[in-house]
């Protein structure tokens, strides 16, 4: 355990937001998949009515439309929580040194690219439903690439804060996420090439959403990894880099200047009035 720092670390706050957001998303995914399983036939009727612009049929499914809008609103709320977590986490990237700071920048870049690819994939999927069937292969490839970037991004964000056991679980989550994306995209392409392959569209929807249900497993692993990193910081099992900060002066000594001296144990520059080295925890009263 490393000594308590004189700074209030913001990295833990960012991880807390990320953990809450991802955990809410996992619970939402499970409930949403169950909803799709129960109302799959009604959803297919609603999709067909939307494509054919059948206003009467659409009106019959207004309750379903309300549930879908509510789900979208909840996803937006979760996205805001995750976004806040990423902002806090990025702003505090220097707290654990240059290597961690570099990893956070790289990880965030990967996640941004993954998000952009996801948006492009949704747009192309809409085009494919409108008659551009040739787009479906590109949608599948983009889905796989997006999963790869998401997985690598989360790995880069957390790898400095986890021990070897935590990294092992995180790697399993990344690999699992990519495998599920490959299987799901392959099934999507096969279905568009041969709609009779699964017997009917209801069967394909149930298989697809069953895979989405399974995809909550790697996301739950990510949430667990975030929680492990958060608790490791709270328990002071990860060494912060205090050299990245100016030395604090507070209380009655605000505004005074001190003559610095070196810690006899680690050579860290400390103020004359300090009784404990904030870098290594050496008690100067022993001198």
Q: What is the pLDDT along the chain (287 residues), one digit of tens a residue?
A: 565 665 667 888 999 999 999 999 888 877 776 666 666 656 666 665 555 566 665 555 666 666 667 777 888 898 899 999 999 999 988 888 889 999 999 999 999 999 999 989 888 877 766 655 667 788 888 989 999 999 999 999 999 999 999 999 999 999 999 998 898 888 877 877 776 776 666 666 667 667 777 888 898 999 999 999 999 988 888 888 766 554 544 444 433 333 467 777 776 767 767 777 776 777 766 55
Burial class for 224, CB neighbours closer than 10 Å (0-12, 13-18, 19+)? middle
Q: What local confidence, expressed as pLDDT, does residue 43 receive?
A: 62
Rounded Cα distance, 267 and 283, in Å: 13
Contact 128, 57 (CB under 8 A): no
Residue 111 tokens, joined: 């996640």
Q: Which of 191, 187, 190, 193 is nearest to 211 (CA)?
A: 187
3-state SS string over 216-247?
A: HHHHHHHHHHHHHHHHHHHCCCCCCCHHHCCC
Q: What local confidence, expressed as pLDDT, does residue 147 receive?
A: 93
**Which DSSP helix (H) or strand (E) runs through 253?**
none
């Amino acid at each position: 355990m490393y000594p308590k720092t004189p700074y209030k670390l913001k990295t833990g706050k960012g991880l807390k937001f990320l953990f809450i957001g991802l955990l809410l998303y996992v619970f939402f995914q499970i409930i949403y998949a169950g909803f799709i399983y129960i109302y799959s036939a009604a959803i297919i009727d609603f999709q067909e009515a939307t494509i054919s612009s059948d206003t009467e049929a659409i009106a019959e499914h207004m309750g379903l439309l309300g549930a879908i809008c509510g789900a979208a609103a909840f996803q937006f709320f979760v996205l805001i929580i995750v976004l806040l977590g990423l902002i806090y986490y990025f702003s505090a990237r220097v707290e654990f040194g240059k290597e961690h700071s570099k990893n956070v920048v790289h990880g965030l870049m990967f996640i941004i690219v993954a998000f952009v690819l996801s948006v492009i994939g949704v747009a192309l999927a809409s085009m494919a439903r409108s008659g551009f069937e040739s787009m479906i292969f590109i949608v599948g490839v983009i889905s796989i690439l997006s999963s790869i970037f998401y997985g690598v991004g989360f790995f880069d964000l957390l790898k400095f804060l986890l021990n070897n056991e935590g990294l092992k679980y995180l790697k399993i989550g990344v690999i699992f996420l990519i495998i599920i994306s490959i299987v799901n995209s392959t099934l999507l392409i096969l279905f568009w090439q041969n709609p009779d392959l699964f017997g009917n569209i209801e069967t394909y929807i149930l298989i697809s959403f069953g895979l989405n249900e399974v995809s909550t497993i790697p996301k739950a692993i990510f949430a667990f990894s975030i929680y492990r990193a958060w608790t490791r910081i709270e328990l002071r099992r990860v060494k912060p880099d205090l050299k990245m900060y100016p030395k604090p002066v507070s209380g009655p000594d605000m505004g005074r200047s001190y003559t610095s001296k070196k810690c006899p144990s680690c050579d860290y520059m400390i103020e004359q009035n300090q009784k404990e080295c904030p870098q290594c925890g050496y008690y100067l009263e022993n001198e």
